[in-house]
Amino acid sequence: MNQLDALKQFTTVVADTGDFKQLAQFQPQDATTNPSLILKAVQKPEYAPLLSDTVAAHRGQALDVVMDHLLVRFGCEILQTIPGRVSTEVDARLSFDSADTVARARRIMALYAEKGVARERVLIKIASTWEGIQAAAELEREGIRCNLTLLFSFCQAVACGQAKVQLISPFVGRIYDWYKKTAGAAWDEAAQAGANDPGVLSVRAIYNHYKKHGIATEVMGASFRNVGQITALAGCDLLTISPDLLAQLAASDAPLAQALHVQEAQAMDLPAVHYKEATFRLALNEDAMATEKLAEGIRAFCADAVKLEELMQKA
């Protein structure tokens, strides 16, 4: 049994890509996209017609409307390849506006409904700002399921659990990146690998807290840099993995054991934690890594949304 098949025994495997033509070979349950992945896909010759066809069909409409049609077009194509759910992201430029995030999410869901897609097959991705989390809480009450992304800290995860969101995506690789860059020449790769990886430790703490306190929100590790980070989180509810790393897992027959266990988490002595807005903002501010990576992530997604709009204007 290869490592990918072994991982599927413990964890729901999700493909992190807009390149839906690659999906079938790995047989993931779900798939996730973001503005950067869609931007990358539409610049490939095989996906260029999706961009041009979508722009032609909605020419004259506002760019944000055309953008949502494009995202839903990709989502529908992905859903033809997978049995589960696709995550579609709200424009990152709305990350600090709860009302507009809710409105945009409703519109995306309406576009999926027009295509005959059941709402349980779609997760709306929203940045894990305070405003994003409150928007997700409102959407969840309406039956619109959400995936809270750009999540780097324990306080973000706790607030998402309080909001009863469907799923969170804590970013393993970007946490690792920050600590490695900050340590500079003092970084010891071997000592900080696998179960000791700072990104892995972050997800493990969130997973244990959720399972200990009966929080139903699903934990989906994301943003992996290497296979070791993935295998160290075997047993997590879900893991969303790039095609390159899926291929590495499929090519390896090295042993893979379950690393996270619900029963172990439930037996731990972990205090209950709750946040209101002021204490959330303070906790996030006290975490330099999470503050910097959240801001950086939002900036990058905003920049790629602008680039995608520029491509649509030229199409």
Instruction: Respond yes or no: is residue 180 known to be catalytic.
Output: no
Q: CB-based burial of residue 1 (10 Å sphere; 0-12 exposed, 13-18 middle, 19+ buried)?
A: exposed
C-alpha 126/C-alpha 140 separation (Å) is 12
Confidence of residue 244 (pLDDT cuts 50, 70, 90): very high
Q: What is the pLDDT of residue 281?
A: 98
Helix axes 154-162, 130-141, angle to 10 degrees: 30
C-alpha 89/C-alpha 72 separation (Å) is 10
- Given 8, 44, 125, 276, which residue is catalytic? 125
**Mean pLDDT to the nearest integer, 243-265:** 97
Q: Shortest CA distance to 93 belongs to which of 293, 305, 309, 307?
A: 305
Question: Between β-strands 146-151 and 218-221, what pairing exists: parallel, antiparallel or unpaired?
Answer: unpaired
**Residue whose structure tokens are 């042993």:** 255
Instruction: Show the domain range for 162.
Output: 3-314
Q: What is the pLDDT of residue 158?
A: 98
Q: What is the DSSP letter of 228?
A: H
Confidence of residue 298 (pLDDT cuts 50, 70, 90): very high
- CA–centroid distance for 197 within its chain: 19
**Joined tokens for residue 303:** 């920049």
In the chain, how many domains are there?
Answer: 1
Q: Is the pLDDT of residue 310 over 90?
A: yes
Q: Is the pLDDT of residue 151 over 90?
A: yes
CATH of residue 180's domain is: 3.20.20.70
Q: What is the DSSP letter of 1?
A: -
Quick one: what percent of the chain has pLDDT higher than 90?
97
Q: What is the pLDDT of residue 35?
A: 83
**Mean pLDDT to the nearest integer, 107-119:** 98
C-alpha 233/C-alpha 70 separation (Å) is 33
Stated pTM of the model: 0.97
Q: What is the pLDDT of residue 97?
A: 98
**Mean pLDDT to the nearest integer, 23-41:** 93
